[in-house]
Structure 1
Amino acid sequence: MFDQITPFVVELAASPLVYVVLVALCFVDGFFPPVPSESALVAVAAIAATSGQPVLAGVLVAAAVGAIAGDSVAYWIGRRIGLARLAQSRRPRIAAAFAFAERQMQRRSASLILVGRYIPVGRVAVNTTAGATRLPYRRFLAISAIAGTAWSATSVGIALAASQVLHEPLVAALVSMVVAGGLGIAVDRVIGSISRRRDARAARAAAAIVATTGVPTAGVPATDVPTASTTPVAHAPSATPRIVPTGEIVRP
């Protein structure tokens, strides 16, 4: 059934409906891997490169919009299910896989999301894990927008380059994965650098507040601020005993 999708899309290459079909294919492929969005995208892009129909820019935008929307659906599916339910598997390997995915998502979410966009099953697993681990949606959407646009542009670019020589969609997929890997590493380094600078500024600001007010703030160790146990305390002089007369006579 799904094998007939690409020929159907190719037949619509000269029709405006091809953009709608591309959006739908890339959207569904974001959470249902059997839909062959890559092959349809590369085939239509190759036709556009050689015949001028459809408009190549329209193909690129349609694929990117559908991909970003589909990835968001996978994210919210994972958010709905939650990592606890996904990790509560009776199979130790599955539980360990989700634990590993959670650690990797916290460390290098950009790389995973960008590379996963080029792997039909991988994109669903990565985006679902991003939602299950509650990666902030704003950050996910920003990375997903880069991933979807890069995936569409790279596939179209490879189709343009290979349309006169090769007609294998697999070439586009392999080259796209390499490009996505490098892009993911670059994005992770930029995000990590920005986060470290932001944390350093927050630490300096907190230290300045402590130095000025002597009141510790969140994120500043309490040992950096003098406490009652370390502050010298002035002791009051002890009272001198007084002899109070009672009226009694001491007899020998």
Structure 2
Amino acid sequence: MLEGLNAALLAAADQPWVLLALFAFCVLDGFFPPVPSESLVVGLAVISVSAGAPDLWLLILVAAAGAAIGDNIAYQIGRTVGTRRFRWMRTRKAEAAFARADELLATRGAVIIITGRHIPLGRVAISMGAGATAMHRPTFVFLTIISGLVWAGLAVGVGVLAGHWLGHNPLLGIVVAILAAMAIGLVVDRLMAWWSARTPVV
């Protein structure tokens, strides 16, 4: 269903309401990882290269705003209910993500918030963990704004590169760009794991 909604939004990229839908997707993605906001941002950037719409700078700002708000909703969820209240939080994968997020937040919070946004489950665990550990809210808000801009700018950049490279075939460009964005997220995840393993906890 979500993939169908994503495809419908991409097909209507030149419509003004698409940016509102993108904003909603990015907000939801901050605390509900199955929503494919990153692929939508990348896909819209690819289409923008060939069709001229939506505007790339507006795309970055809308996606970044939605991402920052979504991350702060996740923060509030973590602060209100913690990271153990619901059953999905107690799955092995979720518990590992929360434990890792807590460790990294305690030692290098700014870096983990900015880079962790590129990992779907990781960004939720980090934001909720920040709330659960009562990280200073103004600091968290500021970092999520920076994080959202970096994330949106990178996603749009990947889409633009793919759009120029495969401009004659926007659909193929979207596929390549989404795969590239996924690869970047995987690389960030592996680098964070490597850094965490090599850097002693203070």
TM-score by shorter chain over 0.5: yes
Deviation at 1:176, TM superposition (A): 5.8
Matches within 5 A, 1:71-82: 71-82=71-82
Distance 1:2 1:110, change over 3 A: same
Deviation at 1:81, TM superposition (A): 1.6
Matches within 5 A, 1:101-112: 101-112=101-112
* Percent identity for Structure 1 against Structure 2: 39
Contact 1:41 1:63 in 2 (8 A): yes
* Aligned-partner Cα distance in 2 for 1:106–1:13: 41
Amino acid at match of 2:4: Q
* Aligned-partner Cα distance in 2 for 1:32–1:91: 15
Q: Corresponding residue for 1:2?
A: 2
- What is the aligned-residue RMSD (CA, Å)? 2.9
Q: Corresponding residue for 1:155?
A: 155
Distance 1:138 1:12, change over 3 A: same
Matches within 5 A, 1:1-252: 1-82=1-82, 98=98, 101-165=101-165, 167=173, 168=176, 169-175=178-184
Distance 1:45 1:134, change over 3 A: same
Deviation at 1:162, TM superposition (A): 1.6
Contact 1:155 1:176 in 2 (8 A): no
Amino acid at match of 2:164: Q
Q: Corresponding residue for 2:199?
A: none
Distance 1:175 1:93, change over 3 A: closer
* Aligned-partner Cα distance in 2 for 1:4–1:163: 22
Contact 2:78 2:129 in 1 (8 A): yes
Partner SS, residue 48 of structure 2:
helix
Deviation at 1:50, TM superposition (A): 1.5
Deviation at 1:164, TM superposition (A): 3.0
* Aligned-partner Cα distance in 2 for 1:136–1:80: 15
Q: Corresponding residue for 1:249?
A: none
Per the normalisation by structure 2, the TM-score is: 0.78
Number of aligned residues: 181
* Aligned-partner Cα distance in 1 for 2:164–2:109: 37
Contact 2:79 2:133 in 1 (8 A): yes
Amino acid at match of 1:72: N
Task: Name the structure where helix makes up a greater proportion of residues.
Answer: 2
Distance 1:174 1:93, change over 3 A: closer
Per the normalisation by structure 1, the TM-score is: 0.64
Partner SS, residue 62 of structure 2:
helix
Contact 1:46 1:160 in 2 (8 A): yes
Deviation at 1:93, TM superposition (A): 9.6
* Aligned-partner Cα distance in 2 for 1:71–1:145: 9
Amino acid at match of 2:69: A
Contact 2:102 2:126 in 1 (8 A): no
Deviation at 1:17, TM superposition (A): 0.4
Q: Corresponding residue for 1:200?
A: none
Structure with larger RCO (C-alpha < 8 A, sep 6+): 2
Amino acid at match of 2:111: S
